[in-house]
Amino acid sequence: MGGLGTMSARAWKIVASFSPSWETSLVSTSGPGGLARVLEGAGGVFLIADRSVASLHTAWLEAALGGRVLGSALIEADERLKSMSTAGGIIAEMSDSGLMREGFVVGFGGGLVCDVAALCASLWLRGVNLVLVPTSLLCMADACLGGKTAVNYRRARNQVGTFYPAGAVVVDTALLETLPEREVRSGLGEILKTALVSGDAALGGLLADLAARPLPPDAASEAVELCLRVKRDIAVGDPLERGRRRILNLGHTFGHALESARGFDLTHGEAVALGCIVAARMAEALGGSPGLSVEVAGLASSLGLPCAPGKAVRGSMSRFLGRDKKSTSEGRAWILPFGWGDCRQVLLERTRERELLGAALEADA
């Protein structure tokens, strides 16, 4: 077990209304009953699950799904398999299962599986009901909310996708008991990003608690709830990410390119934490809060996350930076933290970007 202590059943419910017809209801639950309630009256269910997580939680799934399952696809949580080909295979299974418009897709796994499940649900019959059950800390605190679906394309991260918010998200932190320690820390990396974006003092304080051992029993549930509230408050006003929502991508321009350049040997949360440190260094060079990057790196280190991006990756990164979705003909938009709770989008033309990024990576020398 990943060192999260005994999970409590803190009850919370968050509603994210993206539009009158796009609403996500997120509930904390204890045990499989929460998912069973969401599926009451469901026509039929197609399960898309992380193979290894499903095998660890078979009894949970059986109790939640009962006899409703029409078919299932069990997939590996491997970024190299988060692909069009995997999505195509799942859609073929959905077709064979006879899943109809009133049916439900249930995604059960970490962010990777939930992204793929949501993409398939959005495509099949132009969209069927979607329920997500996140099983990693990162997915509970971030990926399960907001409607971004995706697969990677030609090794570049999340290049193909749709916006398709789940109707319901069921969070049972007891599922984290089997999450490996490194993946717990990966989740803390994404929570660190949310703390920096929001400047939320409670979340910052909680992160310090989460770094400590033993953890307060309900720390994970409380951190998840706070992160989801921050994300909900930012995402609902900009569901298609045309403006303010972009600040949630803090750490991702560098992080995604680093993940691809290194052939996915870092976890997503590790890459995002490194991306936050690099972004903070770049912001300092542009007049941001002095010492912020050292503070962020110190926190990352205390959470057991890597805190030195290293110069070695510089050469191989430019190809993948070019695939960033915030690239334009004039340059690339970076989300930079000028202080806690003060993230801004800054358009950097190529030469300026090279200078700032080069200096930020040089700091590890």
- Using CB under 6 A as the criterion, which residues of the chain lie in contact with ligand NAD when the complex forms? 50, 52-53, 56, 77, 82, 109-113, 115, 135-136, 138-139, 142-143, 146, 148, 158, 175-176, 178-179, 183, 186, 267-269
Count the neighbouring beta carbons within 10 Å of the beta carbon of residue 317: 18
Q: Which one, 82 or 246, has the nearer CB to ligand NAD?
A: 82
Q: Which one, 183 or 353, has the nearer CB to ligand NAD?
A: 183
Beta-sheet pairing, 104-109 with 343-348: unpaired
Q: Which one, 136 or 260, has the nearer CB to ligand NAD?
A: 136
Nearest-approach distance from CB 330 to ligand NAD, in angstroms: 26
Q: Which one, 2 or 44, has the nearer CB to ligand NAD?
A: 2
Backbone angles phi, psi at 167, to 5 degrees: -70, -35
Nearest-approach distance from CB 178 to ligand NAD, in angstroms: 4
Nearest-approach distance from CB 141 to ligand NAD, in angstroms: 9
Nearest-approach distance from CB 137 to ligand NAD, in angstroms: 8
Q: Whose CA is closest to 174, among 13, 12, 32?
A: 32
Count the neighbouring beta carbons within 10 Å of the beta carbon of residue 125: 13
Nearest-approach distance from CB 74 to ligand NAD, in angstroms: 11
Cα dihedral 38, 40, 46, 50 sign: positive
**Which residues of the chain form beta strands (DSSP E)?**
13-19, 22-28, 45-50, 69-75, 104-109, 129-134, 151-153, 156-160, 168-171, 327-328, 331-337, 343-348
Q: Return the residue nearest ligand NAD (CB atom).
A: 111
Nearest-approach distance from CB 123 to ligand NAD, in angstroms: 15
Q: Which one, 164 or 338, has the nearer CB to ligand NAD?
A: 164
Cβ contact 197:343 at 8 Å:
yes
Cα dihedral 278, 280, 283, 287 sign: negative
Q: Which one, 97 or 136, has the nearer CB to ligand NAD?
A: 136
Q: Which one, 246 or 284, has the nearer CB to ligand NAD?
A: 246
Q: Which one, 38 or 235, has the nearer CB to ligand NAD?
A: 235
CA distance 18 to 77: 28
Nearest-approach distance from CB 103 to ligand NAD, in angstroms: 22
Nearest-approach distance from CB 201 to ligand NAD, in angstroms: 23
Q: Which one, 44 or 110, has the nearer CB to ligand NAD?
A: 110
Backbone angles phi, psi at 212, to 5 degrees: -85, 160
Cα dihedral 343, 170, 129, 37 sign: negative
At a CB cut-off of 8 Å and minimum separation 6, what does 125 contact?
99, 100, 101
Q: Is 61 left (phi over 0), alpha (psi -120 to 50) or beta?
A: alpha
Nearest-approach distance from CB 2 to ligand NAD, in angstroms: 8
Distance of CA 335 to the CA centre of its chain: 17
Q: Whose CA is closest to 280, among 208, 355, 357, 226?
A: 357
